[in-house]
Amino acid sequence: MKIKTMYNFEGLHKFFLFSDEIENINWKIEKQLLKDRVERYKQIAFYSELKQQFNANNISIWELKEEEIITWIDTITLLRRVFIKLLKKGHQGDDVYVLMEYPLVNGNYMRTDYLIVYQRLIFVLEFGMFNQDEKRSEERYTKKLQESINYRQIIANQVTNDVQVINYVMIYKPEFDRYENKIIKENVNYNDEELRKLSCYIFLLFNKQQNLSAINQLKNIEITNN
């Protein structure tokens, strides 16, 4: 049975093929307001493709906010960088599923940013951007964290106990100022470190799943007894 979601990438290679457009359009995570970025980029093909996909899949009773499309492109950019780090660590990701904008069943029409699914692991990943106001940034993180906890609990209540459901929130910063045409290096460094920690955590969880497989447990018996 097909999973109802905006996108379901069966294997990281399919996500990479999809997100190649990020490289083609040279997308940057800009500090300008979302409504300003909507006006500038709403004519590009990738923007239109995402909007059409959301509407065609009928995954929400709420009307799509145009600003959401910009945040989708931002987070696709970040997730691509995470998966590149996973590949460099040696995980090819052929059996990893990536679900984007998954509407929670019995979740009052709430949608997760991403679900990363591997064997008996469901990784609930939420993104949020730092606001210029530090106090509001803390409030945003707290709000996103509570949302991710709620999402994790809703999913955990509907799967068997042997499925591990983990929630994670990454708060990122804008990396480019379009008005001044310059890279914000300190924010790029911040994001890179957060992405490094995220990729390491996912890699650790994937390895734990691999160790639970029957064939790997047999291998461990051999190692223990030699």
* Per-residue pLDDT tens over the stretch 154-188: 999 999 999 999 999 999 999 999 999 999 999 99
- Tokens at 42, concatenated: 């709403």
pLDDT at 133: 54
User: Of the candidates 41, 65, 38, 51, which has an alpha carbon nearest to the alpha carbon of residue 7?
Assistant: 51
Domain ranges of the chain: 7-224
121-129 and 111-118 strand pairing: antiparallel
pLDDT at 220: 67
Residue 74 makes CB contacts below 8 A (sequence gap 6+) with: 27, 29, 127, 129, 172
pLDDT at 148: 93
* Average pLDDT, 10 consecutive residues per value, the chain (226 residues): 91 96 96 95 97 93 93 98 94 92 87 96 94 64 88 94 95 95 96 96 92 73 58
Residue 206 makes CB contacts below 8 A (sequence gap 6+) with: 86, 91, 96, 118, 121
User: Of the candidates 78, 93, 30, which has an alpha carbon nearest to the alpha carbon of residue 194?
Assistant: 78
pLDDT at 223: 59
